[in-house]
Amino acid sequence: MPDFPLPVTLPPGWRLDARDSVGSTNDEARALAVAGAPHGTIVSARRQDAARGRRGRAWSAPEGNLYCSAILRPQVPFSRAGELTFVVGVAVADAVAGFGLEPKLKWPNDVQIAGAKMCGILLEAAVAPDKTVDWIVAGIGVNVAHHPALADYNATSLHAAGAQEATVEALLERLAAALDRRLAEWRAGGFDATRAAWLERAVGLGARIKVRLETETLEGVFEQIDPSGALILRTDTGRHSITAGDVFFGRG
């Protein structure tokens, strides 16, 4: 049962499990998913004590920002699970744009405003015996009132970017509505519409970028993302299809 009710209205079929404080909303949502919680269940918390991002990186989670994890059961082959990273990213951008801001999407899973990160997305998934998606937990952290001071990249918040009227409750409502809409679009039309919407807001598209891989760093032109979501980088030696890496612009 929710222990910190939030006054939000969600789309039909969605439900909110709001907590005061948790270690990680992804951990809580994953436990609920394993126990059979339905599609559209959102776990939110005012604070997180063990927040983590991509590759297990820890990150700050003070009160005043949005921390939530949505349980999704898309009923598609597990090979398509990665597409949901882009569906969720586009939905977050839609929700943030509702406050009059101009969010951009950085491959693969960050949302930025004016070159500074204001949201991170972390997806975890389980495969069913028939090789379809059993569940996906989409962890979403949005800097609403606060943002960290970091040495390795710039960060911002909705308030710092000019949306002083933004609240966690209003953002969560808009995010749930955007997720519902973008998921329906993805189910009906496949990845093409999502890919097009993502590319419209892509940071660095057509520009020279650096991509740091586990064993090397590549530099070239960011041409597109392909139908699987891989970043296509054109270097002096040819085109590279990149499925995991850290993207940098300019000197990085």
Domains (range + CATH), the chain: 15-200 (3.30.930.10), 208-249 (2.30.30.100)
pTM over 0.85: yes
State the SS3 of the chain. CCCCCCCCCCCCCCEEEEEEEECCHHHHHHHHHHCCCCCCEEEEEEEECCCECHHHCECCCCECEEEEEEEECCCCEHHHCCHHHHHHHHHHHHHHHCCCCCCEEECCCEEEECCEEEEEEEEEEEECCCCEEEEEEEEEEECCCCCCCCCCCCECCCCCCCCCCCCHHHHHHHHHHHHHHHHHHHHHHCHHHHHHHHHHCECCCCCEEEEECCCCEEEEEEEEECCCCCEEEEECCEEEEECCCEEEECCC
25-64 pLDDT tens trace: 999 999 999 999 999 999 999 998 865 554 455 556 778 9
129-166 pLDDT tens trace: 999 999 999 999 999 999 987 766 799 999 999 999 99
